[in-house]
Amino acid sequence: MTDADLAEMRTQAERLGFNLSESLLEEILETATAGDSEATETATPSAEGVGHRADDDENALLAVFDEPRVRTDSGPLAGTTLAVKDNIAVADLEMTCGSRAYSVVPSETAPSVDRLLEAGIGLVGKANMEPFAMGPTGEFSDFGHVTNPVDPDIVAGGSSSGSAAAVAAGTVDVALGTDTGGSVRIPAACCGIVGVKPSHRLVPRNGFVDFAPSLDTIGPLARDVPTATRAIAAMAGPDPRDPTSADRSLEFETLDDLDDADGLTVGIPETPFERSSDEVADAVRTVTDRLSTLGIETVPVELDLGDTEAAYLNIGAAEFSWLVSGNGVTRGQGTGYDEELRQAFAAAREDGLGEHVARRILPPAFLDMTSGGATYAAARAEGIEFMTRLKAAFDAVDALVMPTLRVRPPAVETVTTRADLIPVLGNTAPFNIAGTPAVTVPVTSLDGLPVSAQAVAPQFEDGLALRVAHALERVAD
Ligand code: GLN
């Protein structure tokens, strides 16, 4: 570590609004150059929302309405309830992004939430989350640790920690999460529920505080695939407020189409299984072997994930650092921030985004800047090569199934280094890079802990991914 490196790290940190001690800067520089990143920060509960602050056992909810808001009592989601991750705008409820640095009471509700209200859902309030959607465990929200209702010694998963815990505890039927590298699927898998990362750009993202716009998606968590499918069907489709949203919808005529799996070919891809622990790989294989009872043929398929785990960590951190240095202005695939959300972001940056975010963002941001963008370009190239291999796999099969997490849901306080992140997000993040739909379903258990499988289909074939996920649900233990 040279003095020049340290001076450069200080410049980068200040440019991004981080006011850090010399010793922390040195520590972060060390992890940047060693390619290892610690993620440790203690969380203290605080802050009141508009409406009132929920007081649920899991600490899953933040600001909630006094009574659930219902716009219509007819529609495909009538009679069900909703919590919304706290980085998606709901008019009249304080939004925090899980950080004490960020606060705004939006005047408009995000189109994704609006569409669920149109479909008859009852809106309960906001769900706790990891600060700015970073972190796969649910331990670092400024508003306190989220407890996993399945087992308090196991992490709830993140970053949509509150969304998953609220659904798993039965507090709500549906929760919205956001998934940039696995943040819907990871907590869904940890809490033993269904989570959908839709195709990139299928669900409009306006009213959401971006993390890495080329990877970001909004998706539902629910206790079964039919409910999650109703939510996706309601939310899919373009909205003029998000210029990146695609002119696509879910292709289903009726929900009965979900049962239509006979004749599909599902690939069992090599590296996602090889990189999983034996117990998880074997547990998932036992369930995929049963898919033939539904008329689905399963075949082994070559799919090398390459170095997509590292590529994801670079792309995610670099894009977030651009957002920070631009004071919340999104470019490229940015979703068109509302001015009030952008101002709240700029104010948060002014206050400092906190140590948890600094530890995650600064090492790759430092490498991005000091290499003149070469590390970002290399990560993108890695992603493009992966997409070419994925396309070849989809020439042979309709969809893929693999373990969602490579390991059992982790125990609390055990995921601290960059190396610890990889088994948690290594099978999920590649499909954010590829933009494909990916649906996680609990299929079996190990010593009482959920084991989940993920169904992946080509981009915009979300209906196919959901059909395979529903097949997994039908043959699950
Ligand atoms: N939990 C993963 C991470 O920390 C994914 C983040 C996300 O999808 N927002 O990177």
Cβ of 410 closer than 6 Å to ligand 1, yes or no, is no
Q: How far is CA 286 from the centre of its chain?
A: 27
Q: What is the mean pLDDT of the chain?
A: 92
Q: Are residues 12 and 59 in the same domain?
A: no
For 387-430, write each residue's pLDDT tens digit: 999 999 999 999 999 999 999 999 999 998 889 999 999 999 99
Q: What angle do CA 34, 38, 44 make, to 5 degrees?
A: 160
Burial of 237 (0-12, 13-18, 19+ CB in 10 A): middle
> Does any domain span residue 99?
yes
Query: What's the whole-model pTM score?
Result: 0.93
**Residues labelled as active-site residues:** 85, 159, 183
Q: Are residues 90 and 213 in the same domain?
A: yes
Q: Are residues 14 and 102 in the same domain?
A: no
> Does any domain span residue 39?
no
Cβ of 217 closer than 6 Å to ligand 1, yes or no, is no
Q: Are residues 121 and 238 in the same domain?
A: yes
Q: Are residues 16 and 154 in the same domain?
A: no
CATH of the domain at 425: 3.90.1300.10
Q: What is the pLDDT of residue 39?
A: 38
CA of 191 to the centre of ligand 1 (A): 16
Q: Cα separation of 77 and 410, whole Å?
A: 33
CA of 94 to the centre of ligand 1 (A): 23
> Does any domain span residue 41?
no
Q: Are residues 10 and 155 in the same domain?
A: no
Q: What is the pLDDT of residue 335?
A: 65
> Does any domain span residue 43?
no
Q: Are residues 109 and 15 in the same domain?
A: no
For 418-434, write each residue's pLDDT tens digit: 899 999 999 999 999 99
> Does any domain span residue 129?
yes
Q: Are residues 26 and 168 in the same domain?
A: no
> Does any domain span residue 44?
no
Number of compact structural domains in the chain = 2
Q: What is the pLDDT of residue 332?
A: 66
For 342-385, write each residue's pLDDT tens digit: 889 989 988 889 888 999 999 988 998 899 999 999 999 999 99
For 296-329, write each residue's pLDDT tens digit: 999 999 999 999 999 999 999 999 998 888 888 7
> Does any domain span residue 40?
no
Q: Are residues 68 and 121 in the same domain?
A: yes
**Backbone CA torsion sign across 425, 138, 163, 167:** positive
Grade residue 31 by pLDDT with cuts at 50, 70 and 90: confident
Q: Are residues 13 and 150 in the same domain?
A: no
Q: Residues 210, 445: contact at Cβ < 8 Å?
A: no
CA of 158 to the centre of ligand 1 (A): 7
Q: Are residues 144 and 214 in the same domain?
A: yes
Q: Are residues 8 and 73 in the same domain?
A: no
Q: Residues 226, 194: contact at Cβ < 8 Å?
A: no
Residue ranges in 219-266 assigned as alpha helix (H)? 225-235
For 141-191, write each residue's pLDDT tens digit: 999 999 999 999 999 999 999 999 999 999 999 999 999 999 999 999 999
> Does any domain span residue 296?
yes
Cβ of 186 closer than 6 Å to ligand 1, yes or no, is yes
Q: What is the pLDDT of residue 43?
A: 31
Residues, the chain: 477
Domain range holding 11?
A: 3-30
